[in-house]
């Protein structure tokens, strides 16, 4: 970690920490862990975000103190009075949303801690490493480099969530032996058990959310000979399922999980335009594809919001695939539905199995 970042944070008396809009586990976990650590150093900390944390993150230690930016004088004064404003888990000041107006109006020094590609210049100090699995990994490095003994249950839990959520539960290519060493250290120092944390984050689907998933899966299509797959969430589906876009967290992993698929997209229709999530496997990069439409992100996980109607946006984005992906030679842009359901005729093996089941049933006591 650069000395400038360390000094700027540790020499301050009052810090405001902000993270990106629609904050995810890495955003909130990094923010809260940094807040706990700085508070333990006697520094006053306020965490102010444009958007509230999703319901599955509100249990995280310290989340009760997160403030949602409301444009009030009181919050603007907190931001003005800070010596340092730390921006975590985004490479661009504008990605923090509405609160950026107050941040830009403040005389405080600005520090960036992040792991996205191409950090925006203009911060007073920057700690950016795009090979890091998560911002949580960078916050761990900062804290452990200063005094690892302050890592308590609260810091460990927040950093565990940050790293777990940004690595797809420790499966992405960003996961290194070092990431597992950090996790081992967090488990020991925080005396954590991973199962309840995992469950609190992921086993939180609502009935409405699963209804939405079922409708969305019906729209699954593949293109370019199965190299690309995509799925839709329309406004009509959201209404019919009585679900919200928060319920769709992680849906993009379904088209990506298809055999042979290297890049997957989820198109979510909104009143003003279409939000697109891009995901890819291994060496296939999708950030350039998202960037071409004004978005950005990581090599294997990017996003963008495009104004326009759903059909036009889907067409425009999918037709651009050959410019941004190394598609198999001769791949056609043609859309296909996934393989038809298997033939309903039963094979001889199926018949035999079915009759054993029926026999068992008739043998069973009434």
Residues 126, 232: Cα–Cα separation, whole Å: 37
Residues 102 to 121: which contact ligand 5GP by CB under 6 A?
116
- Residue 304: which of Mn ion, ligand 5GP, none does it interact with, CB under 5 to 8 A by kind? ligand 5GP
Q: Which is nearer to ligand 5GP, 45 or 238 (CB)?
A: 238
Least spacing, CB of residue 283 vs ligand 5GP, in Å: 18
CA 56 to chain centre: 13
Report in angstroms the alpha-carbon separations of 193 from 135, 164, 213: 22, 13, 30
64: which residues sit within 8 A by CB, 6+ positions away? none
Q: Which is nearer to Mn ion, 32 or 261 (CB)?
A: 32
> Which of 107, 82, 85, 109 is CA-nearest to residue 96?
85
CB atoms under 10 Å from CB of 174, counted, come to 21
Residues 110 to 149: which contact Mn ion by CB under 5 A?
135
CA 270 to chain centre: 19
Least spacing, CB of residue 117 vs ligand 5GP, in Å: 9
Residues 165 to 204: which contact ligand 5GP by CB under 6 A?
none
Residues 299 to 328: which contact ligand 5GP by CB under 6 A?
301-305
238: which residues sit within 8 A by CB, 6+ positions away? 212, 244, 245
Q: Is 295 in the site for ligand 5GP (CB under 6 A)?
A: yes
Place of tokens 């298809």: 258
Residue nearest to ligand 5GP (CB): 303
Q: Which is nearer to ligand 5GP, 6 or 92 (CB)?
A: 92
Least spacing, CB of residue 198 vs ligand 5GP, in Å: 19
Residue 341-360 contact track with Mn ion, rule CB under 5 A, x = bound: --------------------
Residue 11-40 contact track with Mn ion, rule CB under 5 A, x = bound: ---------------x--------------
Asked if residues 286 and 259 have their Cβ atoms less than 8 Å apart, the reply is: no
Residues 133, 143: Cα–Cα separation, whole Å: 17
- Residue 166: which of ligand 5GP, Mn ion, none does it interact with, CB under 5 to 8 A by kind? Mn ion
Chain residues that interact with ligand 5GP, rule: CB under 6 A: 116, 277, 295-298, 301-305
């Amino acid at each position: 970690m650069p000395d400038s970042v360390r000094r700027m944070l540790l020499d301050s008396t009052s810090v405001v920490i902000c993270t990106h809009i629609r904050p995810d586990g890495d955003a909130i976990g990094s923010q809260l862990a940094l807040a706990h650590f700085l508070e333990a150093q006697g520094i006053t900390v306020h965490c102010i975000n444009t958007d509230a944390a999703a319901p599955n993150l509100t249990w995280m230690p310290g989340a009760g103190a997160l403030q949602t930016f409301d444009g009030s004088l009181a919050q603007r004064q907190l931001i003005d009075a800070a010596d340092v404003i730390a921006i975590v888990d985004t490479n661009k000041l504008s990605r923090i949303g509405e609160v950026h107006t107050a941040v830009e109006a403040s005389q405080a020094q600005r520090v960036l801690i992040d792991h996205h590609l191409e950090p925006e210049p203009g911060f007073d100090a920057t700690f950016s490493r795009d090979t890091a699995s998560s911002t949580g990994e960078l916050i761990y490095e900062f804290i452990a480099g200063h005094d690892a003994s302050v890592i308590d249950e609260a810091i460990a839990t927040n950093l565990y969530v940050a790293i777990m959520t940004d690595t797809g539960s420790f499966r992405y290519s960003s996961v290194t032996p070092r990431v597992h060493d950090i996790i081992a250290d967090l488990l020991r120092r925080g005396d954590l058990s991973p199962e309840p944390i995992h469950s609190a984050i992921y086993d939180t689907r609502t009935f409405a959310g699963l209804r939405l998933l079922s409708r969305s899966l019906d729209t699954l299509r593949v293109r370019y000979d199965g190299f690309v797959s995509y799925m839709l969430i329309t406004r009509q589906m959201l209404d019919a399922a009585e679900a919200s876009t928060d319920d769709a967290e992680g849906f993009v992993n379904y088209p990506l999980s298809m055999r042979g698929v290297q890049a997957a997209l989820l198109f979510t229709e909104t009143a003003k335009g279409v939000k697109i999530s891009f995901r890819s496997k291994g060496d296939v990069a999708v950030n350039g594809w998202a960037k071409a439409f004004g978005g950005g992100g990581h090599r294997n996980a990017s996003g963008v919001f495009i104004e326009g109607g759903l059909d036009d946006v889907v067409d425009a984005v999918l037709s651009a695939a050959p410019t941004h992906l190394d598609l198999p030679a001769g791949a056609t842009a043609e859309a296909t539905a996934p393989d038809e359901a298997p033939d309903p005729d039963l094979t001889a093996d199926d018949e035999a199995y079915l009759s054993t089941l029926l026999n068992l049933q008739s043998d069973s006591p009434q």
